[in-house]
Amino acid sequence: MTSSRLQNLTKSKVGSNVTLINAMPLPGLNTLGISLAHIDYAPLGQNPQHTHPRATEILTVLEGTLYVGIVTSNQADRSNKLFVKVLNKGDVFVFPQGLIHLQFNPVHDKPVVALAALSSQNPRAITIANAVFGSKPPISDDVLAKAFQVQKGSID
């Protein structure tokens, strides 16, 4: 497996590239309950809010500075709490299974490289914005406006 660290790979719309090594490209991982992800972030790039329904993730920063966060949800009192941390080279952060989390490079002139291990050979990632705003067929603007408590025109 070669490194994904090439200049053009972080020029996605969100400024990141995730190279996942799971049971698909490496069948020997099947049934072992592990995967690995190499993540490159362009300056000001992010790995947008997402969740892994099948895995806990542990991430370490190899180069640069990374702003990370998780959002907890408490159904009993309807509170959602954001926990954030700024990580530097060598720092580690854990994202519990199923929780929405994010990663952002806050530096405008330096890239970030991180490595993440996941507790499943098929962790799956659900990007929140893509799931909500990119579904086929689309979710009704009326439904989204009510769910996000905004005017219908804000959805477009």
- The structural domains of the chain, with segments of one domain joined by +, span 7-124
Binding residues for Mn(2+): 50, 52, 57, 101
Interval 70-93 mean pLDDT: 92
Binding residues: 47, 50, 52, 57, 101
Q: What are the C-alpha distances in Å from 156 to residues 128, 135, 140, 142, 150?
A: 17, 14, 11, 11, 11
Find the helix or strand (DSSP H, E) in which 56 lies. Answer: none
Supply the CATH classification number for the domain 7-124. Answer: 2.60.120.10
In the structure encoding, which two tokens stand for residue 43, read together? 């300056």
Binding residues for oxalate: 47, 52, 57
Range name among 18-27, 46-55, 59-68, 92-101 with the lowest pLDDT average: 18-27
Interval 123-135 mean pLDDT: 92
In tens, the pLDDT along 34-81 reads 999 999 999 999 999 999 999 999 999 999 999 999 999 877 887 889
DSSP-assigned letters across all residues of 60-84: EEEESEEEEEEEEEETTTTEEEEEE
Inform me whether the pLDDT recorded for 136 exceeds 60: yes
C-alpha closest to that of 101 among 38, 142, 59:
59
Q: Is 148 left (phi over 0), alpha (psi -120 to 50) or beta?
A: alpha
